Amino acid sequence: MTPITFSASTCSDLSDFLQKAGSLIQQEIMSLIPEQEPKTFLYDLMRDYPARGGKKFRSALVLLSCEWFGGQISEALSSAVAFELFQNFALIHDDIEDDSLTRRGKPTLHRIHGIPLALNAGDTMFELVYEALLANEKILDASLTLQVLRHFNAVARHTFEGQAMDIGWVVHDIFPNKKEYQEMIKRKTGWYSGKGPCQCGAMIGKARPEDIECIGQFGEAIGIGFQARDDVLNLITDSEGEAPEANAGGYGKERGGDFAEGKRTLITIEMFDRLSAEEAKRLHRILLQPRENTLEEEIEWAIMQAEQSGALEAVIAYCEEYAEKARRCLEALPDHSVRDLMQELVAYLTIERNF
């Protein structure tokens, strides 16, 4: 295990913590991926997405939450690594399912190597998740190791349920309402991007049950806010050739790709509520047609309509709403120096200044 020379309490600000934690997590991930055959067809592929960068905020949430309740980064490191491995597994599969073109500033894995090899690399990444979680038996007691393992299973199950809803709507030409969308995003993103890592760290820090519940609500709020922010960035950020980093807001995917992929986002729901019948019909047609048939001018038209209709502003306001929910949860938790970094994280993930 990589020597740990910092803690949240010794970092000057969130950027400092994310850089140090991100570097630590990166080293641990790379050390877990074998240097052996089939290197060319498997392990080199598994190194690809982690090597491209990424914010690693999910693993940071595990470490921050653990320290908040009296735990040490060393105790939470394996679990934090597991969440980042799960993130990379999910990205590989998600890119295949959506037929995305770029990820973290470069062509997606399946575009480079083909679907079969990329799919197998993603599956093996998921296997490494459990190697990381099982390593907890050397750090935590048996009961806590099992508790964390069960918690992670719940995270994975909720994520897969949300993904099934998200994909199913596209496959079956269904356009959800706001309530249905919120239920999907609560499962898909609320759990693995917020609630899951926060509660995992709190468990390792031996937090009280009521505090585990409260920090879970905090995590869910920033996870949902992050997804809405992500949807906004997809329309307004031209950073296809840039990889997102720990202390930057790069998006790393093609601008307007959500429209090309026919994704049902909060932005499209808000647009359908605001567009004229003729405009809504055109948007409907763009979202339903195969990606290869979607023209660049159609994507630009959809982005313009999102801006002019007020849909974009509505989703930015939605981000702010969940940021406020997250702040209220933080106020209900015991005082700790980590609180300042968590408050910075709320702003980093959801506040309008990032747009």
Tell me the average pLDDT across 334-349.
Answer: 86
The b/e string for 230-261 (b: 16+ C-beta within 10 A; e otherwise) is bbbbbbebebbebbbbbeebbbbbbbbbbbbb
In a domain, 53, yes or no: yes
C-alpha 301/C-alpha 208 separation (Å) is 51
pLDDT of residue 250 exceeding 50: no
C-alpha 345/C-alpha 349 separation (Å) is 6
Domain, as residue range, for 272: 15-354
Angle of CA points 346, 348, 354, to nearest 5°:
125
- Confidence class of residue 260 from pLDDT cuts 50, 70 and 90? confident
Tell me the average pLDDT across 31-41.
Answer: 95
The β-bridge relationship of strands 106-107 and 102-103 is antiparallel
- Confidence class of residue 55 from pLDDT cuts 50, 70 and 90? confident
What is the per-residue pLDDT for 213?
97
- Confidence class of residue 114 from pLDDT cuts 50, 70 and 90? very high
17-22 long-range Cβ contacts below 8 angstroms, 24+ apart: 17/60, 17/64, 17/341, 18/55, 18/56, 18/57, 18/60, 18/246, 18/247, 19/246, 19/247, 21/56, 21/59, 21/60, 21/63, 21/73, 21/80, 21/246, 22/54, 22/55, 22/56, 22/59, 22/60, 22/246
Q: How far apart are the first and last CA of the chain?
A: 37
Encoded tokens for 103: 């990820």
What is the per-residue pLDDT for 355?
41
- Confidence class of residue 1 from pLDDT cuts 50, 70 and 90? low
Angle of CA points 173, 174, 180, to nearest 5°:
155
Residue 180 near residue 207 (C-beta atoms within 8 A)? no
Question: Which residue is listed with tokens 């790069």?
Answer: 250
In the chain, % of residues over pLDDT 90: 72
pLDDT of residue 241 exceeding 50: no
C-alpha 159/C-alpha 188 separation (Å) is 4
Q: Which of 1, 23, 126, 128 is nearest to 76 (CA)?
A: 1
What is the tens place of the pLDDT at every residue in 301-341? 999 999 999 999 999 999 999 999 999 999 999 988 899 89
In a domain, 6, yes or no: no
Encoded tokens for 41: 């067809």
Distance of CA 99 to the CA centre of its chain: 18
C-alpha 329/C-alpha 345 separation (Å) is 13
- Confidence class of residue 16 from pLDDT cuts 50, 70 and 90? very high
What is the per-residue pLDDT for 349?
66
Q: What is the CATH number of the domain that holds 74?
A: 1.10.600.10
What is the per-residue pLDDT for 261?
84
Residue 159 near residue 191 (C-beta atoms within 8 A)? yes
- Confidence class of residue 134 from pLDDT cuts 50, 70 and 90? very high
**Furthest-apart CA pair in the chain: how many Å?**
62
pLDDT of residue 247 exceeding 50: no
- Confidence class of residue 248 from pLDDT cuts 50, 70 and 90? very low
C-alpha 181/C-alpha 222 separation (Å) is 16
Lowest-confidence pick of 35-39, 134-138, 334-338: 334-338
Q: Given phi > 0 = left and psi -120 to 50 = alpha, else beta, which region is 310?
A: left
In a domain, 74, yes or no: yes
What is the tens place of the pLDDT at every residue in 72-89? 999 999 999 999 999 999
Number of folded domains in the chain? 1
Higher pLDDT pick, 297 / 243: 297
pLDDT of residue 2 exceeding 90: no
In a domain, 331, yes or no: yes
Q: Give the CA distances from residue 224 to residues 3, 90, 218, 266, in Å, rounded to whole numbers and listed in that order.
A: 33, 17, 10, 11
What is the per-residue pLDDT for 245?
52
Tell me the average pLDDT across 42-70.
Answer: 94
In a domain, 203, yes or no: yes
C-alpha 118/C-alpha 92 separation (Å) is 7
In a domain, 64, yes or no: yes
In a domain, 293, yes or no: yes
In a domain, 3, yes or no: no
Residue 256 near residue 269 (C-beta atoms within 8 A)? no
C-alpha 6/C-alpha 2 separation (Å) is 12
- pTM (predicted TM-score): 0.89
C-alpha 271/C-alpha 310 separation (Å) is 8
Question: Which residue is listed with tokens 């290869």?
Answer: 292
What is the per-residue pLDDT for 281?
96
